[in-house]
């Protein structure tokens, strides 16, 4: 079981303690922040400072990248209860729910569960997993109410964030503790999920503030249409954590930490982290950031018991402008220790491994004239798998007016091999049988072999975009991209199947990890926001994607054609946010996702609705309905093994009540 009696008492006790602190804590709440965001105009959003594209604060409207920002108000009015649901707002981001716990999240193609070309960070701390390349979304049940905003860049971000920032970067920025003072309790109660969040904020002297939080949740299994896992996936878990902020003059200090446990049937995730950051801001515009974190993630599943310990130290300095130049420099060191205890069907060349990553970058933002800017930069890295990597970028932006931005970019980014691709040997029993005369039906056994000679996957990306704030009520954003990929991962056959007679007759097929695919993708992403009245906000988005992945000459992996069709070609979304009265709001969210031929998933249209009522300054209620049109439907599938029928869960209609107290 996930939470035994002692653990449950521990979580519950902490929640009660947090509530008890409210008797002596300040009676301040974060409703002020929400009210401010609710009043943000299109002008305010265009002037919002973001840092995901260049690593230094810059005006959102002037950014030379395909960026998108999700605010705390967007999250609140979405009615979402998990991070992948929130990310559906991003144009071009494909989010398919697999089961109660897991999702397949990617951008600009290559959608899979645990997509390996998308880098995800929380406050600049990477949660990308080096064991298998990707993000275990089910292990990061972040408290959504603590998020200030989510910055997303579609396209490579390697100069700023390094390897694995290939097709996109997501940075989840949490609120400063001065914005979460007082006591907060949030609950979700529905026919398929329950959730409880408790948070207490207070002061640490004259310049410091803190928050403590705890979260429990349970998501019931979704009905299984087909596949090996007939009972579905029950997802439940809990986490506790803290954050403290302190201002010393113009400097900001932050320290935060968390411990959690999540379980999805036999998959058990445990983790903890400690993260500190020191940010310096000078009067001349220079900004420096020193940060360090330790992170531990443990994964216990049917394949292996894995643990990954990471220590990361980095420093970044953005100089004040000197003439026409604004330089940014930085460097970092990362140490990763992995320990794999293999189970049945799994072998590993070495159960433990120490890896190191050294990095440095330099970037120069050059003002060519009053309206034209050129940003040149490169990231230099040395890792334990492929050695030295260079990831340069050039970005040009033209600002014909303070309401228009045209930009273009060319960049190189790489994805480094994972520990599994390098060292693991996995034997699978796909259930496929072959009739051999004299022996009858003989099972086929497939062995996937890691390859220490694997090199990094490579992307050369060409992008262009246009951002136009037509009026104070209308804004448009368009982005085009063409991506050339080389050295994509494959599994190459080592020869014809061999016949093994002991302990029972079987055909054994071996395939070794390699880099023998290449290809090209291109697409279009559109976003628009229109506010016909102060009390009505409309947001729309459309994306188109075409993929053409091919094997190199002599390549034997025939999965290239499947990669082309494992991501939806078209998506569109329309959101309406209506303030019916000062205390009542109504939100509608209509989404279309095209079919995914490789997985035999039909296209679908969904409608989510939320009716919110602010009863008083302390208490909010919201009734949320999800998947109101197309239920049940399939969004993505979880493969159980090679050639096995994937586990297929039905996404059903769902209704739940959300309640929030602040005092």
Residue-wise pLDDT tens digits, 323-372: 999 999 999 999 999 999 887 778 888 899 999 999 999 999 999 999 99
Residue with the bigger pLDDT between 30 and 102: it is 102
Structural domain of 90: 5-662
- The per-residue pLDDT for 31 is 42
Average pLDDT over residues 507-519: 91
3-state secondary structure of 4: coil
pLDDT at 628 over 90: yes
pLDDT at 621 over 70: yes
Residue 5: what are its φ and ψ, rounded to 5°?
-60, -45
Average pLDDT over residues 596-606: 91
Q: Would you say 175 and 148 are in contact if contact means Cβ atoms under 8 Å apart?
A: yes
72 token code pair: 């705390």
Cβ neighbours around 112 below 10 Å, total: 18
The percentage of residues in the chain with a pLDDT greater than 90, rounded to a whole number, is: 66
Place of tokens 């643990």: 307
In a 10 Å sphere around its CB, with 0-12 CB exposed, 13-18 middle and 19+ buried, how is residue 466 labelled? middle
Average pLDDT over residues 98-119: 90
606 token code pair: 């969904």
Q: Which of 604, 602, 603, 600 is nearest to 646 (CA)?
A: 600
- The per-residue pLDDT for 459 is 98
Number of H helices, E strands in the chain: 8, 38
Give the whole-angstrom CA distance, residue 319 versus residue 309: 33
Q: What is the mean pLDDT of the chain?
A: 88
286 token code pair: 């220079």
Confidence band (pLDDT; 50, 70, 90) for 9?
very low
Average pLDDT over residues 625-639: 85
pLDDT at 511 over 50: yes
pLDDT at 216 over 70: yes
- The per-residue pLDDT for 57 is 86
- As for how many domains the chain has, the answer is 1
Least confident of 205-214, 376-385, 604-613, 641-650: 641-650
Give the whole-angstrom CA distance, residue 212 versus residue 239: 11
Average pLDDT over residues 509-513: 90
The residue count for the chain: 663
Domain of 100, CATH number, reads: 2.40.170.20
pLDDT at 228 over 70: no
Average pLDDT over residues 309-319: 96
Query: Got the DSSP string for 50-116?
Result: E-TTTSS-EEGGG-SSEEEEEEHHHHHHHT--SHHHHHTTSTTEEEEE-SSS-EEEEESS---TT-T
Could you tell me the pTM of the whole model?
0.91
Confidence band (pLDDT; 50, 70, 90) for 606?
very high
């Amino acid at each position: 079981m996930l939470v035994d009696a002692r653990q449950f008492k521990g979580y519950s006790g902490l929640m009660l303690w947090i509530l008890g602190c409210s008797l002596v804590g300040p009676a301040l709440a974060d409703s002020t922040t929400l009210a401010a965001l609710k009043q943000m105009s299109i002008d305010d959003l265009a002037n919002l400072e973001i840092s995901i594209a260049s690593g230094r604060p810059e005006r959102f409207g002037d950014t030379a990248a395909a960026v998108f920002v999700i605010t705390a108000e967007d999250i609140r009015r979405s009615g979402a209860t998990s991070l992948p649901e929130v990310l559906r707002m991003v144009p071009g981001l494909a989010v398919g729910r697999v089961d109660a716990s897991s999702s397949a999240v990617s951008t600009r193609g290559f959608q899979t569960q645990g997509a390996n070309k998308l880098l995800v960070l929380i406050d600049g701390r990477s949660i990308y997993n080096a064991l298998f390349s990707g993000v275990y979304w089910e292990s990061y049940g972040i408290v959504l109410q603590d998020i200030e905003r989510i910055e997303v860049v579609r396209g490579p971000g390697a100069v700023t964030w390094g390897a694995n920032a290939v097709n996109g970067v997501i940075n989840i920025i949490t609120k400063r503790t001065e914005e979460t003072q007082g006591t907060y309790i949030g609950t979700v109660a529905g026919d398929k999920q329950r959730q409880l969040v408790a948070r207490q904020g207070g002061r640490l002297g004259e310049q410091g503030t803190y928050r403590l939080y705890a979260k429990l949740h349970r998501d019931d299994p979704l009905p299984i249409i087909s596949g090996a896992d007939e009972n579905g996936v029950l997802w439940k878990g809990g986490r506790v954590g803290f954050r403290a902020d302190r201002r010393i003059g113009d400097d900001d200090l932050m320290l935060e930490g968390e411990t959690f446990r999540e379980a999805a049937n036999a998959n058990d995730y445990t983790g903890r982290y400690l993260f500190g950051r020191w940010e310096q801001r000078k009067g001349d515009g220079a900004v420096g950031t020193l940060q360090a974190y330790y992170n531990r993630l443990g994964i216990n599943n049917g394949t292996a018991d894995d643990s990954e310990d990471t220590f990361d130290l980095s420093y970044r300095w953005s100089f004040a402008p000197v003439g026409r130049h604004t330089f940014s420099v930085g460097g970092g060191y990362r140490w990763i220790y992995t320990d794999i205890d293999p189970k049945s069907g799994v072998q590993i060349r070495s159960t433990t491994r120490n890896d190191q990553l050294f990095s440095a970058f330099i970037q120069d933002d050059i003002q060519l004239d009053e309206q034209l800017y050129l940003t040149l930069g490169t990231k230099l890295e040395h890792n334990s798998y492929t050695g030295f990597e260079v990831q340069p970028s050039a970005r040009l932006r033209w600002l014909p007016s303070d309401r228009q931005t045209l930009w273009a970019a060319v960049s190189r980014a790489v994805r480094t091999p994972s520990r599994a691709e390098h060292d693991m040997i996995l034997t699978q029993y796909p259930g496929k049988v072959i009739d051999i005369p004299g022996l009858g039906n003989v099972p086929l056994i497939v062995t996937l072999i890691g390859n220490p000679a694997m090199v990094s996957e490579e992307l050369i990306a060409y992008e262009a975009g246009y951002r136009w704030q037509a009026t104070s009520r209308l804004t448009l954003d368009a982005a085009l991209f063409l991506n050339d990929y080389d050295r994509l991962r494959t599994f190459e056959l080592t020869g014809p199947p061999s016949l093994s007679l002991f302990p029972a007759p079987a055909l054994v097929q071996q395939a070794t990890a390699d880099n023998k695919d290449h290809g090209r993708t291109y697409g279009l992403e559109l976003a628009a926001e229109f506010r016909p009245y102060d009390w009505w906000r409309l947001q729309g988005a459309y994306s188109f994607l075409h993929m053409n992945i091919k094997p190199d000459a002599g390549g034997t992996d025939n999965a290239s054609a499947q990669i082309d069709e494992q991501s939806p070609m078209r998506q569109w979304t329309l959101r309406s946010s209506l303030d019916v009265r000062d205390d009542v709001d109504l939100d509608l969210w209509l989404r279309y996702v095209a079919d995914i031929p490789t997985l035999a998933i039909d296209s679908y249209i969904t409608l989510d609705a939320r009716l919110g009522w602010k009863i008083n300054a302390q208490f909010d209620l919201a009734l949320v309905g999800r998947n109101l049109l197309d239920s049940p439907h399939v969004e993505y599938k979880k493969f159980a093994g090679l050639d096995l029928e994937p586990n297929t869960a039905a996404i059903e209609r769902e209704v739940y009540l959300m309640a929030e107290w602040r005092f």
